[in-house]
Structure 1
């Protein structure tokens, strides 16, 4: 009999995974953005496959080291998210993200019955190099879950374990899934696993999560002052067909590791570091970025063209 966790009071946490200097820097910025908008009442953890030192202003962050022999290389760690999750109920956020608002209430949006993602069900088209209709026939699915692996809701129960066990079986089956020269991608495998167990994804309405690569943003982002405002424009190359046309303000922004030390991540990460690490007031931190960091960045870009 499956365990019912819908009425239990579970320990909650947010966590991310980071390995190497670049991704640790991204994770530190993510942690600071979490604290700025959410405080520290719900724990935040950074998990890595190698030991690392936390900056002095992040001593409130929980640190966990898990052997790479267990996690595997590259993105394989995402097939073990349920095992490494710090608490019975947790939300994983990719390290190359920033938080622009309160996310403490996100746990209440899920039914506590199964692991889940933000996305939608699809029955045709192409997703992560899979012909959806063909994949549904191959794996006996009613649909595939279209989503981005930068966000996972995790709950430790039998259904969650079965989903991740099935995902690992798929990965070890020898069947070819989307990958690059360095690593596998988690979305095709976990999409099939979620769909196999008939998980209904949390509808993507643009208000919780967004990907910088898929949005047209109107104004320069500022993590202190306002959430990002994006415009879903019909016929644009990055138009999201499942969202109505118009403006959206996601609380979690997946910036992407390719924007490390580039705008807009650079400006907001410096704002946060000045405020927390150097103990400068919010207004002063913002002002220094405006009069020093942004002009220097723009000058460097011109000189390097």
Structure 2
């Protein structure tokens, strides 16, 4: 099966640097995984990746993740946000998505009428009677498998995007990937992977318990429970903080010794 990891970097050089740091972490923890980048220009970073897709009309925003659905480099793709680092093997993640729909991510199907997801039933206009659930999902990691379903899913995302102002979503007043993908998922009854702690969203956790790339260890406290993860999604703003820079430098140090890039 032709499969690989995908990330995106467009616009500001800092996003290319984040993507490079993610790539380094994958090369160290998953040396056999192919890695592709979706980008807006052929620059010096291009040679680092196994495959490169040039976007002709990038959004230079969250919305480039919607573009991913049309420009998939592999038959099976795991997208990881560039502002993330990988601490362990991704083989278990591939297994989790084997039996899922052709688009999937980590999330939960909340009951219709729930107020805890990406939208309320009353805020999605004409889709109100066409959804299967209210999604609560994380947008730092997506699984996408090429096929007719993804073509339908992509077209639906574009339709939702074009009418975005008619709806009301949590957190984003302007078009963004997570609310659009969440609504499309609810309409087409997408399956979610349930092992949410596999990808850890740094701003949402209570405390990092143990972060050790040398031991391939990522443990953290979330809702009073100690969880183990494989991918730490820092969030773009947190890549300027000491923790991210410290972890980045550890990966680079290992890279210099192992020469895996």
TM-score where L is the length of structure 1: 0.75
Q: How many aligned residue pairs are there?
A: 252
What residue in structure 2 maps to residue 37 of structure 1?
29
Q: Give the match's secondary structure for 1:199.
A: coil
CA distance in 2, matches of 1:60, 1:157: 24
Distance 1:127-1:200 versus aligned 2 partners, 3 A rule? same
Q: Which has the higher strand share?
A: 2
What residue in structure 2 maps to residue 11 of structure 1?
2
Distance 1:180-1:116 versus aligned 2 partners, 3 A rule? closer
CA distance in 2, matches of 1:180, 1:205: 22
Moved over 6 A (4+): none
Deviations 1:233-289 (A, max 9, x none): xxxxxx3xxxxx52111101111111123132101111122332xx2379xxxxxxx
Single out whichever of 16-25 and 101-110 deviates more from structure 2: 101-110
What residue in structure 1 maps to residue 257 of structure 2?
280
Per-residue deviation, 1:184: 2.2
What residue in structure 2 maps to residue 87 of structure 1?
74
What residue in structure 2 maps to residue 169 of structure 1?
159
Larger radius of gyration: 1
Q: Answer yes or no: is the 8 Å Cα contact 1:15–1:93 preserved in 2.
A: yes
What residue in structure 1 maps to residue 115 of structure 2?
125
Per-residue deviation, 1:48: 0.9
Deviations 1:68-106 (A, max 9, x none): x2x334122122222122101111000000101000332
Q: Give the match's secondary structure for 1:30.
A: helix
What residue in structure 1 maps to residue 238 of structure 2?
259
CA distance in 1, matches of 2:121, 2:221: 28
CA distance in 2, matches of 1:109, 1:101: 15
Whether 2:64 is the aligned partner of 1:96: answer no
Q: Answer yes or no: is the 8 Å Cα contact 1:217–1:230 preserved in 2.
A: yes
Q: Answer yes or no: is the 8 Å Cα contact 2:124–2:167 preserved in 1.
A: no
Q: Answer yes or no: is the 8 Å Cα contact 2:201–2:233 preserved in 1.
A: yes
Whether 2:115 is the aligned partner of 1:115: answer no
Per-residue deviation, 1:27: 0.7
Distance 1:223-1:47 versus aligned 2 partners, 3 A rule? same
Q: Answer yes or no: is the 8 Å Cα contact 1:30–1:95 preserved in 2.
A: yes
Deviations 1:129-159 (A, max 9, x none): x224654962521212211211110011111
What residue in structure 2 maps to residue 215 of structure 1?
205
What residue in structure 1 maps to residue 43 of structure 2?
52
TM-score where L is the length of structure 2: 0.86
Whether 2:228 is the aligned partner of 1:249: answer yes
CA distance in 2, matches of 1:81, 1:59: 20
What residue in structure 1 maps to residue 20 of structure 2?
28
Match runs of 1:230-249 below 5 Å: 230-232=220-222, 239=223, 245-249=224-228
CA distance in 2, matches of 1:281, 1:82: 34
Q: Give the match's secondary structure for 1:221.
A: strand
CA distance in 2, matches of 1:154, 1:218: 30
Q: Give the match's secondary structure for 2:43.
A: coil
